[in-house]
Amino acid sequence: MAQTGQLVDPYRNFNFLVQIDGITQAGFSECSGLSSTTEVVEYREGGDNTTVHKLPGKTAYGDITLKWGITDNLDLWNWRQQIIDGQVVRKHGTLVLFDFDASTERARWNFIRAWPTKCELPSFSAKGNEVAIETLTLAHEGLTRA
């Protein structure tokens, strides 16, 4: 008779770390957009008029969006400024997911040849008291799970 397996809860999405080559950012409040999509190429074969074959085409990777509270650290701002100045500096990065204890690594995704395509500053209001959140969008050329 087969034994019942141990129930494993899914990991939570709040204990994470984003590392980018040579950039030390205190912490990100959000990281989104890590995705890959493979194009479907439809192919009709002669003599087979009832079926369309579906073949894999090129794979594209979604842009990564990072959000963090503004501090004195200018590393990401300076990287974006290099792109504006015509110096395309590509960097590799990693998203690490931790367990509840915030020290046990549970999953890791690596992205390659990233560069910042967009920087968005927060809206400012004298009536508000929220943290000022800066947003950076990264284009990249690959995503793997390590």
> Number of folded domains in the chain?
1
Three-point CA angle 58, 40, 95, nearest 5°: 55
CATH of the domain at 94: 2.30.110.20
Q: Mean pLDDT throughout 112-127? A: 96
pLDDT band of residue 3 (cuts 50, 70, 90) is: low
At 102, list the tokens. 């915030």
Q: Which domain holds residue 35?
A: 16-145
In a domain, 113, yes or no: yes
Note whether residue 9 is domain-resident. no
Q: What is the pLDDT of residues 19-34, one digit of tens each?
A: 999 887 768 999 999 9
Residue 24 maps to a domain: yes
Examine residue 2 and state whether it is found in any structural domain, yes or no: no
Question: Minimal CA–CA distance to 142: which of 116, 110, 95?
Answer: 110
